[in-house]
Amino acid sequence: MTLPITPSFRLDGQRAFVTGASKGIGRAGAVALAAAGAEVVLAARTLPEMEETVAELAAAGHRAKAVRLDVTDRAALRATIAAEGPFGVLLNNAGTNIREPFLEVQDASLDALLDLNIRAMFITAQAVAQGMVAAGKGGAIINLSSVNGHVAGSNRSVYSATKHAVEGMTKAMAFELGQHGIRVNTLAPGFVETPLTRPVLVDEKFRSRVVRAMPLGRVMTVEDVMGAIVFLASDASRMVTGLSLVVDGGHLTH
């Protein structure tokens, strides 16, 4: 009798593209993918932070490159992916949130969130997937969602709408791209402490509410999602597609 072999979590020989990679989950994801063996291209609007990350990765023996990119610039986005690709892994992370009560949402806020959280994510995934199909090697696409892609939250109506859209878009992509060997999933974190969320977490009452909502009893860190990113990118999840992997400390259990 031969023992079954666990599919590898390694990404040696893969090339990965990470958007919103200058800080927070994007930066952590880029580090996780590089540490698993992938050659990583980090993309964001601010270059110095990424160059520092690339230098640290190189010092640790990993391969990475930084490119300045505004993903809402469609022409630049497509040109960058064409020039740097093809990729076998996409961490489609760039996104933001503007907290406003539903009755007070400004047109500018609505437009900004729709443009970055949906349009740019869609075009990024499409351009990377086109490269994957042309290369004929399949691949893995991870779209960053949120627990707010599954439930509502106060002052987050537009953000929640965009993340619900990401969940639906991901299922449709998975259905269409499976024939090309491309897997598409979302990573839906709970409340992770990042530069984006830190300004609201300094409010101790708000932080306490966040902690009470998590059965595991603490605010998440970027390290808490790094393993999930490697899992979704690797052969360890080779039959996982169209899934929303929720990493939320148990928030959605109640």
What is the distance between the alpha carbons of residues 50 and 65, in angstroms, rounded to a whole number? 8
159 belongs to the catalytic site: yes
Q: Is the dihedral of CA 201, 206, 208, 211 positive or negative?
A: negative
Q: Is the dihedral of CA 67, 68, 72, 75 positive or negative?
A: negative
Say which amino acid occupies 17.
Answer: F
Rg (CA), the chain: 18
From 16, 41, 145, 159, active-site residue: 159
H or E segment to which residue 33 belongs: helix 24-35
H or E segment to which residue 84 belongs: helix 74-84
Q: Which residue has the tokens 């909502």?
A: 213
What residues act catalytically? 159
